[in-house]
Every structure is written in structure tokens, then in C-alpha cells.
Amino acid sequence: MGIRTGRGVSVDEALRMVLTLPEVEQRQHGNHIGFRVRDKGFAYLCEDDWTMLVKATREEQAALVEDDPRAYKKAGASGRISWVQVRLRKAHEDELADLITEAWRMTAPRPIVARAGLPFG
């Protein structure tokens, strides 16, 4: 991955990335928005401080944090699932899109994923 230039994802861009995925529901919870597929959460957006929590594997969480600690931070884990805190102003659009898509894939039922036909990041 390495250090790149051209950082920064707006809240609107992050919303677009999530809401273009099949069967995503958006729910407002206080100062954050939760994103779910078939009633299972996979991402949360806090517009107040431009951060996002995204579901990931422990390996992906560790790799992102090690590679770019300015953009990614550990945000908890349970079993094989972990959460990555993304600082949108420091993130790269393509990396965030891949992370969100993979979180959706980990959460959505297999038939929905198969019908989506999304390319793998």
C-alpha cells in the first residue's frame, strides 16, 4: 500500500460508497448513521468528526493500521471480526471503497452477495 498523496474523502462520498451497495438500510442514531444489510450492521458514520467505523477481519485491521496510522485506527474486535476507525480526511477513496465493500460482503447473506456481482478489491 505505502504512503500516497491525494488524501481525503468527504462525508457525501462515504455515503455514496455505502448506499450504492445492494439492500443497505440507513438508520440515524444520535450523532451517527448506522448502515445495515438484512438487519446486520457493517459500517457507522459520524458526520460530526468525519470518522467512520467499518467491519473488517483482524488481519485487515492490523494491515491498515500498520500501513497508514494517520487514516486508520483499531476500534475493537470480537472473535475473527474487528472494527477499523477511518479518519475520512486522511483516507484514500479507493481504499475506503474496498474496505466498505468487503465489510458489506462479510455481512450480507451469500445469495445477495452472489447476485450483486461486485468485483473483488
What are the boundaries of each domain within the chain? 11-112
pLDDT at site 1: 39
36 backbone dihedrals φ, ψ, rounded to 5°? -135, 155
Q: Which residue has the cell 450523532?
A: 31
pLDDT at site 34: 96
Alpha helices, H only, the chain: 11-19, 58-67, 93-107, 110-116
Domain range 11-112, CATH architecture: Alpha-Beta Complex (3.90)
pLDDT at site 120: 55
* Averaged pLDDT in 10-residue chunks for the chain of 121 residues: 64 94 92 94 91 95 95 90 96 94 94 79 48
This prediction has a pTM of 0.88
